[in-house]
Amino acid sequence: MANLRRDGLHKLTTRLAAMYGTVVVEDLNVTGMLANRKLARHIADAGFAEIRRQLAYKTGWNGGRLLVADRWYPSSKTCSGCGAVRTKLALSEREYQCEACGLIMDRDRNASLNLAALAAELNTAGSGPVAARGADRKTRVRGRVALKREPGTASAGQTGTVPPQGGTADHVLAKAH
């Protein structure tokens, strides 16, 4: 089982790093989530930390980059259509419904679009060595949002797309349910 799992994680991260120039993950509060007994087993099973570790060096091999969204960035609670942020969103709500603009969308797809937009904002913030240095620090985008480049990844300025869905630990978790 351990070998199958290891093989599966490697295949996933190899494919993501080969297909996309930019991969975005969320810096999850794993310790806090492990305190929730219902979530704990799924999180341990999903191997979030290992996925992130592999993506960091594999995106580097492919000349891409791994971006890490701050753990406080409300990727699930934000409307990808109008930017409104919901104050509450239960884990059981699999469909995002925006009270401001009426958008209804799969929860994971909505969160993925928000993370993709976050990466795009970082790309348009500048290019070249100056932007690359700036991106190594925590870069504030959209209020409290912070996005940083994972140390050890390749040069910035590469453009690419984010997987339309299933690309973040949040979504791996969602699919485990």
Compare residues 92 and 99 and give the one whose CB is closer to Zn ion.
Answer: 99
Stretch that binds Zn ion, among 2-10, 17-25, 81-89, 152-160 (CB under 5 A): 81-89
Decide: is 79 part of the binding site for Zn ion (CB under 5 A): yes
Burial string for 128-167 (b: 16+ CB within 10 Å, else e) reads: eeebbeebeeebebeeebbbbbbeebbebebebebbebeb
Please, which of residues 101-160 interact with Zn ion by CB under 5 A? 101, 103
The residue range among 63-71, 80-88, 104-112, 139-147 that interacts with Zn ion, by the rule CB under 5 A, is 80-88
Distance in angstroms (rounded) separating the CA atoms of residues 52 and 55? 5
Residues 6 or more apart whose Cβ sits within 8 Å of residue 19: 163
Q: Which C-beta is closer to Zn ion: that of 89 or that of 125?
A: 89
Tokens in use for 80? 């990808």
Whole-angstrom distance, CA of residue 55 vs CA of residue 49: 10
Task: DSSP letter for 122, please.
Answer: H
Q: Cα–Cα distance between 95 and 2 in angstroms, integer?
A: 33
Least distance (Å) from Zn ion to the CB of residue 93?
15
Judged by CB under 5 A, the residue of 23, 98, 147, 162 near Zn ion is: 98
Residue number with CB closer to Zn ion (49 or 85)? 85
Using CB under 5 A, which of the segments 8-16, 82-90, 123-131, 141-149 binds Zn ion? 82-90
Residue numbers at the binding site for Zn ion (CB under 5 A): 79, 81-82, 84, 98, 100-101, 103
